[in-house]
Amino acid sequence: MIKVYNGTTGKMAGTSHISVQTGDPETCKRCKVATICYAARYQRLRPVVKESYRKNGLEITSRIFEMDELPIVTNFQCRFDAFGEIYDGEKGDIQLTNYINIATKNPKVNFVLWSRNYKKIEKYFTENMKPDNFKLIRSSSEVDKPVYVIPNKHIWDGVFSVVSAQYIKDNNVKLNCGTKDEYGEKYSCVSCPTRCYSMDTETVVFEQVK
Ligand code: SF4
Protein backbone atom coordinates (compact mmCIF):
# COMPACT_ATOMS: atom_id res chain seq x y z
CA MET A 1 0.00 0.00 0.00
CA ILE A 2 1.33 3.43 -0.93
CA LYS A 3 1.74 5.52 2.21
CA VAL A 4 0.52 9.10 2.62
CA TYR A 5 2.42 11.12 5.24
CA ASN A 6 0.41 13.50 7.43
CA GLY A 7 1.07 15.47 10.60
CA THR A 8 4.18 17.18 9.29
CA THR A 9 5.12 20.49 10.93
CA GLY A 10 6.63 23.77 9.67
CA LYS A 11 6.16 24.57 6.00
CA MET A 12 4.31 21.32 5.39
CA ALA A 13 1.86 21.66 8.31
CA GLY A 14 -1.58 20.81 6.96
CA THR A 15 -0.18 19.48 3.68
CA SER A 16 0.05 15.73 3.10
CA HIS A 17 2.94 14.24 1.16
CA ILE A 18 3.72 11.05 -0.70
CA SER A 19 7.47 10.57 -0.77
CA VAL A 20 10.33 8.25 -1.64
CA GLN A 21 13.86 8.20 -0.28
CA THR A 22 16.08 11.24 -0.81
CA GLY A 23 19.64 10.33 -1.72
CA ASP A 24 18.80 7.24 -3.73
CA PRO A 25 21.64 7.07 -6.28
CA GLU A 26 19.09 6.28 -8.98
CA THR A 27 17.32 9.62 -8.55
CA CYS A 28 19.67 12.09 -6.88
CA LYS A 29 22.80 11.41 -8.96
CA ARG A 30 22.46 14.56 -11.08
CA CYS A 31 21.51 16.96 -8.33
CA LYS A 32 23.89 19.87 -7.83
CA VAL A 33 22.25 21.08 -4.64
CA ALA A 34 22.99 17.90 -2.67
CA THR A 35 25.37 19.72 -0.29
CA ILE A 36 22.55 21.98 0.89
CA CYS A 37 19.76 19.40 0.60
CA TYR A 38 17.40 19.90 3.54
CA ALA A 39 15.68 16.55 2.90
CA ALA A 40 18.98 14.64 3.05
CA ARG A 41 19.90 16.37 6.33
CA TYR A 42 16.48 15.58 7.78
CA GLN A 43 16.75 11.90 6.83
CA ARG A 44 20.25 11.58 8.32
CA LEU A 45 18.82 12.57 11.70
CA ARG A 46 15.82 10.26 11.37
CA PRO A 47 16.83 6.81 10.05
CA VAL A 48 13.39 5.34 10.76
CA VAL A 49 11.76 7.96 8.54
CA LYS A 50 14.38 7.36 5.84
CA GLU A 51 13.59 3.65 5.92
CA SER A 52 9.89 4.39 5.58
CA TYR A 53 10.52 6.54 2.49
CA ARG A 54 12.77 3.83 1.05
CA LYS A 55 10.01 1.23 1.44
CA ASN A 56 7.43 3.62 0.01
CA GLY A 57 9.66 4.14 -3.03
CA LEU A 58 9.91 0.39 -3.58
CA GLU A 59 6.12 0.15 -3.37
CA ILE A 60 5.38 3.16 -5.60
CA THR A 61 7.70 1.93 -8.36
CA SER A 62 6.79 -1.77 -8.10
CA ARG A 63 3.65 -1.74 -10.29
CA ILE A 64 0.72 0.35 -11.47
CA PHE A 65 -1.88 0.01 -8.73
CA GLU A 66 -5.60 -0.46 -9.32
CA MET A 67 -7.66 2.62 -8.43
CA ASP A 68 -9.28 0.90 -5.46
CA GLU A 69 -5.83 0.10 -4.03
CA LEU A 70 -4.66 3.72 -4.09
CA PRO A 71 -4.78 5.88 -0.96
CA ILE A 72 -7.37 8.49 -0.02
CA VAL A 73 -5.73 11.81 0.87
CA THR A 74 -7.49 13.56 3.76
CA ASN A 75 -5.83 17.02 3.63
CA PHE A 76 -6.90 19.38 0.86
CA GLN A 77 -3.41 19.66 -0.56
CA CYS A 78 -0.65 17.12 -1.08
CA ARG A 79 2.93 17.22 -2.32
CA PHE A 80 4.44 14.42 -4.35
CA ASP A 81 8.09 13.77 -3.50
CA ALA A 82 8.51 16.20 -0.61
CA PHE A 83 11.37 13.74 -0.15
CA GLY A 84 12.98 11.98 -3.09
CA GLU A 85 12.58 12.45 -6.79
CA ILE A 86 11.11 10.90 -9.94
CA TYR A 87 13.01 7.82 -11.11
CA ASP A 88 14.36 7.37 -14.62
CA GLY A 89 13.18 4.65 -17.02
CA GLU A 90 10.28 2.34 -16.40
CA LYS A 91 10.31 2.94 -12.64
CA GLY A 92 9.65 6.63 -13.28
CA ASP A 93 6.80 5.80 -15.66
CA ILE A 94 5.19 3.60 -13.02
CA GLN A 95 5.76 6.24 -10.30
CA LEU A 96 4.22 9.03 -12.40
CA THR A 97 1.26 6.88 -13.47
CA ASN A 98 0.55 6.03 -9.83
CA TYR A 99 0.78 9.74 -8.95
CA ILE A 100 -1.63 10.71 -11.74
CA ASN A 101 -4.05 8.00 -10.63
CA ILE A 102 -3.84 9.14 -6.99
CA ALA A 103 -4.71 12.69 -8.11
CA THR A 104 -7.59 11.37 -10.23
CA LYS A 105 -8.90 9.34 -7.30
CA ASN A 106 -8.76 12.44 -5.03
CA PRO A 107 -10.30 15.16 -7.23
CA LYS A 108 -10.90 17.59 -4.32
CA VAL A 109 -7.22 17.57 -3.33
CA ASN A 110 -4.65 19.79 -5.07
CA PHE A 111 -1.41 17.92 -5.81
CA VAL A 112 1.95 19.50 -6.64
CA LEU A 113 5.09 17.73 -7.80
CA TRP A 114 8.42 19.58 -7.64
CA SER A 115 11.04 17.88 -9.79
CA ARG A 116 14.58 18.25 -11.11
CA ASN A 117 14.25 15.24 -13.41
CA TYR A 118 13.34 17.52 -16.33
CA LYS A 119 14.00 14.99 -19.07
CA LYS A 120 11.77 12.33 -17.57
CA ILE A 121 8.95 14.75 -16.72
CA GLU A 122 8.93 16.37 -20.16
CA LYS A 123 8.98 13.06 -21.98
CA TYR A 124 6.27 11.52 -19.81
CA PHE A 125 3.93 14.52 -19.94
CA THR A 126 4.34 14.91 -23.68
CA GLU A 127 2.78 11.47 -23.95
CA ASN A 128 0.39 11.60 -20.97
CA MET A 129 -2.19 14.12 -19.73
CA LYS A 130 -2.24 15.27 -16.15
CA PRO A 131 -5.50 15.90 -14.29
CA ASP A 132 -6.63 19.47 -13.48
CA ASN A 133 -5.71 19.06 -9.81
CA PHE A 134 -2.06 18.20 -10.58
CA LYS A 135 0.58 20.92 -10.88
CA LEU A 136 4.20 20.53 -11.96
CA ILE A 137 6.93 22.83 -10.66
CA ARG A 138 10.42 22.75 -12.15
CA SER A 139 12.97 23.05 -9.35
CA SER A 140 16.25 24.72 -10.28
CA SER A 141 19.11 22.23 -10.08
CA GLU A 142 21.71 24.82 -9.04
CA VAL A 143 21.94 27.44 -6.32
CA ASP A 144 22.12 31.08 -7.47
CA LYS A 145 20.90 30.30 -10.99
CA PRO A 146 17.36 31.60 -10.56
CA VAL A 147 14.77 31.02 -13.25
CA TYR A 148 12.30 33.86 -13.85
CA VAL A 149 10.37 32.48 -16.82
CA ILE A 150 8.51 29.18 -16.89
CA PRO A 151 9.86 27.09 -19.79
CA ASN A 152 7.74 24.64 -21.79
CA LYS A 153 4.52 25.94 -20.34
CA HIS A 154 2.53 23.13 -21.91
CA ILE A 155 4.33 20.90 -19.37
CA TRP A 156 5.43 23.04 -16.39
CA ASP A 157 3.15 25.21 -14.24
CA GLY A 158 5.90 26.89 -12.28
CA VAL A 159 9.58 27.27 -11.44
CA PHE A 160 11.32 27.19 -8.06
CA SER A 161 14.82 28.59 -7.41
CA VAL A 162 17.08 28.59 -4.37
CA VAL A 163 19.42 31.54 -3.82
CA SER A 164 22.07 32.43 -1.25
CA ALA A 165 21.97 35.45 1.06
CA GLN A 166 24.81 37.05 -0.91
CA TYR A 167 23.03 36.57 -4.22
CA ILE A 168 19.84 38.08 -2.81
CA LYS A 169 21.79 41.13 -1.62
CA ASP A 170 23.71 41.58 -4.86
CA ASN A 171 20.69 41.10 -7.13
CA ASN A 172 17.87 42.46 -5.03
CA VAL A 173 15.88 39.22 -5.28
CA LYS A 174 12.44 39.37 -3.71
CA LEU A 175 11.89 36.13 -1.82
CA ASN A 176 8.38 34.67 -1.80
CA CYS A 177 8.98 31.30 -0.08
CA GLY A 178 9.93 31.03 3.59
CA THR A 179 8.56 34.51 4.25
CA LYS A 180 6.88 35.58 7.49
CA ASP A 181 3.42 36.84 8.37
CA GLU A 182 2.61 40.02 10.32
CA TYR A 183 3.32 38.21 13.62
CA GLY A 184 6.80 37.12 12.50
CA GLU A 185 5.76 33.48 11.97
CA LYS A 186 6.88 31.69 8.81
CA TYR A 187 4.01 30.88 6.50
CA SER A 188 3.18 27.24 6.00
CA CYS A 189 2.21 26.25 2.45
CA VAL A 190 -1.44 26.26 3.56
CA SER A 191 -1.38 29.96 4.50
CA CYS A 192 1.37 31.20 2.15
CA PRO A 193 0.33 34.05 -0.18
CA THR A 194 2.43 32.60 -3.02
CA ARG A 195 -0.12 29.78 -3.32
CA CYS A 196 1.92 27.08 -5.02
CA TYR A 197 -0.96 24.66 -4.45
CA SER A 198 -3.57 26.77 -6.23
CA MET A 199 -4.33 25.40 -9.64
CA ASP A 200 -5.15 28.81 -11.12
CA THR A 201 -1.74 30.44 -10.57
CA GLU A 202 1.53 30.29 -12.47
CA THR A 203 4.23 29.92 -9.85
CA VAL A 204 7.63 31.63 -9.89
CA VAL A 205 9.23 31.07 -6.49
CA PHE A 206 12.48 32.14 -4.83
CA GLU A 207 13.64 30.70 -1.52
CA GLN A 208 16.82 31.44 0.44
CA VAL A 209 19.18 28.52 1.06
CA LYS A 210 18.48 27.13 4.54
S1 SF4 B 1 6.13 29.50 -1.79
FE2 SF4 B 1 4.67 29.17 -0.15
S3 SF4 B 1 3.29 27.57 -0.94
FE4 SF4 B 1 5.13 27.56 -2.21
S5 SF4 B 1 6.49 26.01 -1.27
FE6 SF4 B 1 7.05 28.03 -0.39
S7 SF4 B 1 5.81 28.13 1.51
FE8 SF4 B 1 4.90 26.53 0.24
- pLDDT at residue 49, as a whole number: 84
Ligand 1 site: residues with CB under 6 angstroms? 11, 176-177, 187, 189, 192, 194, 196, 205
Distance 89 CA to ligand 1 centre (A): 29
pLDDT band at 39 (very low <50, low <70, confident <90, very high): confident
Residue 187 belongs to domain spanning: 10-208
Sheet holding 158-163, edge to edge: 16-18, 77-80, 110-115, 134-139, 158-163, 203-208
Nearest residue (CA) to ligand 1, atom 6? 177
Q: What's the rounded mean pLDDT across residues 19-34?
A: 73
Based on the number of CB atoms within 10 Å of its own CB, is 135 exposed (0-12), middle (13-18) or buried (19 or more)? buried
In a domain, 4, yes or no: no
Position 3 in a domain: no
Q: Is residue 5 part of a domain?
A: no
156 occurs within a structural domain: yes
- Threshold 0.95, pTM exceeds: no
% of residues, the chain, pLDDT over 90: 79
Asked if residue 136 is part of any domain, the answer here is: yes
pLDDT at 35 over 70: no
Residue nearest to atom 7 of ligand 1 (CA): 189
How many distinct structural domains can be found in the chain?
A: 1
The pLDDT assigned to 24 comes to 74
Q: How far is the CA of 82 from the centre of ligand 1 (A)?
A: 12
Q: Which of 137, 179, 187 to mutate to test the pocket of ligand 1 (most atoms within 8 A of CB)?
A: 187
